[in-house]
Structure 1
Amino acid sequence: MQVPRAGASPRRSLSSAAAAAADTPKRPGPAAESLHATAARALPLIPIVVEQTGRGERAYDIYSRLLRERIVCVMGPIDDSVASLVIAQLLFLQSESNKKPIHMYINSPGGVVTAGLAIYDTMQYILNPICTWCVGQAASMGSLLLAAGSPGMRHSLPNSRIMIHQPSGGARGQATDIAIQAEEIMKLKKQLYNIYAKHTKQSLQVIESAMERDRYMSPMEAQEFGILDKVLVHPPQDGEDEPTLVQKEPVEAAPAAEPVPAST
């Protein structure tokens, strides 16, 4: 039940109210408002792409146009709004084809654990192979989504950063409530460790040690750790079958020490 606002005018007649409603422009539905609100929070300006079709011009916002190419963007902090949009796009792309790959571009500092796990579970649930791409950063839950891509299809651009750490949170209230929250976050911590161990092929002991504090990695270090598979410079060019990969720089051997003459 809503409380009337202070200073509200008396109730109008039914006819006048209907006339006013007819003159009022219709607002977009809640789903459209959520999409535009989330995009506006991430980027103040959303480019519009205009295409020529047989029926004339057709305009798309840039994210809808990328969705046609089976590209999903996970940009910014991961919360329930972002999770709902990403999950909806994944399910839509699976309904169109459950065999074609889906490309997920990640630039995220992390966010809410439950929202990230909702995206993760959907990635594992659908049948499509999922290519993950790190652009900028994949930290916290962002790194988990990066690692959750299909084997051999987890990528990063060369100047990105990857970070893993244990979950954090806070609790307040009665002592019993705080104990319940502490028990829950410890369960989430163990659950996340198992997920990282599954996708990186590292032992739980290695995962626990690496995630005890913030662990920042370059793309090459993340590749060695097992979070991603390839570090790319650019996509395949004309006449190429494979993209250009970043090669690990060889480590030069230290010069041999000169023998020291024996003293008498």
Structure 2
Amino acid sequence: MKLHVALLSLLALSADAFSPRPLVPKTVTNKDVSSKSDVWRPPMNMVAGGAEKAYGQEYYEGARIGPPPDLPSLLLHNRIVYIGMPLVPAVTELVIAELLYLNYESTSDPITMYINSSGTTTAGGQAVGFETEAFAIADVMKYVRPPVHTVALGQAFGAAAMLLSQGKRGKRFALPNATILLNQPRSQAQGQASDIAIKAREVANNRRTTCELIASACGKPVSTVMEDCSRVKYLQPEEAVEYGLIDEVIDNKKWAMSSKPPSFMSQL
């Protein structure tokens, strides 16, 4: 009898253990929800005010909400590349990246490059960069398929003047008060005499390469350009046109009085 009662009690406990129990909803607190939680959230278009969020950007009634884009991005969006510093590696990296991106974006729309640079030296003549930086930019200007139009403003000294001349023939411009300077590379060699001699040969090769690029762009003999670059040679915009470095001087006052629109307005 006692055994029978014990079996009945065990069966009752087992039935109670396996019987379904009502689920009690758990209150979810901020501590329980992490940034990567799977807890359902209402879509952003259900939030009051009509704001939406897509790919990390916030929009309100179709307009993007957030800080404005930086100035270089705005210029790049309009296919403008601006060189406003000496040609140090960081500047070269940015300019080449912009040219390659614009080439990927469109192979036919022109690129406008504004140049206000002292080249591979500071305004005082101290060497801060290498001519290979300018050669890299010049090669990419020729490599990309869109035509590159160049505009000088402020100053275009040394290697920057060479880049100015590498624009598409007929689309090389200068503002009225720009100054263009031809000179020869400066050596940064230090150390033993043998190292200085090796560096001097490299500087001489860079000088010849620079003069060859300028001569090809200007239609002049290399010997003439090398002679002009042996000493500093300042060129005003009109003189640069005569020399062949640029094709036209941008003069808004002159064009405002003329019935003929400037040829570059449809190109820049």
Corresponding position: 1:84 with 2:103: no
Q: 1:61 aligns with which of 65, 70, 74?
A: 70
Q: 1:234 aligns with which of 242, 252, 258?
A: 252
Task: State the distance in 1 between where 2:92 and 2:140 align.
Answer: 10
Alignment of 1:151-170 (within 5 A): 151-170=169-188
In the superposition, the TM-score normalised over structure 1's length comes to 0.68
Paired residues of 1:104 and 1:130 also in contact (CA < 8 A) = yes
Paired residues of 1:232 and 1:244 also in contact (CA < 8 A) = no
Q: Equivalent residue of 2:115, what SS? A: strand
Alignment of 1:46-125 (within 5 A): 54-57=62-65, 59-111=68-120, 112=129, 113-125=131-143
Gaps of 5+ in 2: 1-59, 121-128
Corresponding position: 1:208 with 2:226: yes
Paired residues of 1:157 and 1:233 also in contact (CA < 8 A) = yes
- The aligned counterpart of 2:153 is 135
Q: Equivalent residue of 2:250, what SS? A: strand
In the superposition, the TM-score normalised over structure 2's length comes to 0.68
Paired residues of 2:187 and 2:199 also in contact (CA < 8 A) = no
- The aligned counterpart of 1:176 is 194
- CA drift at 1:171: 1.8
- Alpha-carbon displacement from aligned partner over 1:55-85 (angstroms, at most 9, x marks no partner): 3346111111111110010001111000000
Paired residues of 1:233 and 1:244 also in contact (CA < 8 A) = no
AA aligned opposite 2:77:
R
- The aligned counterpart of 1:243 is 262
Task: State the distance in 1 between where 2:138 and 2:62 align.
Answer: 39
Higher RCO (CA 8 Å, separation ≥ 6 residues):
2
- CA drift at 1:172: 2.2
- Describe the shift of the 1:241–1:88 C-alpha distance in structure 2 as closer, same or farther (beyond 3 A): farther
Task: State the distance in 2 between where 1:180 and 1:89 align.
Answer: 34
Pairwise CA RMSD? 2.3
Equivalenced residue count is 193
AA aligned opposite 1:56:
R
Q: Equivalent residue of 1:100, what SS? A: coil
Task: State the distance in 2 between where 1:136 and 1:72 align.
Answer: 16
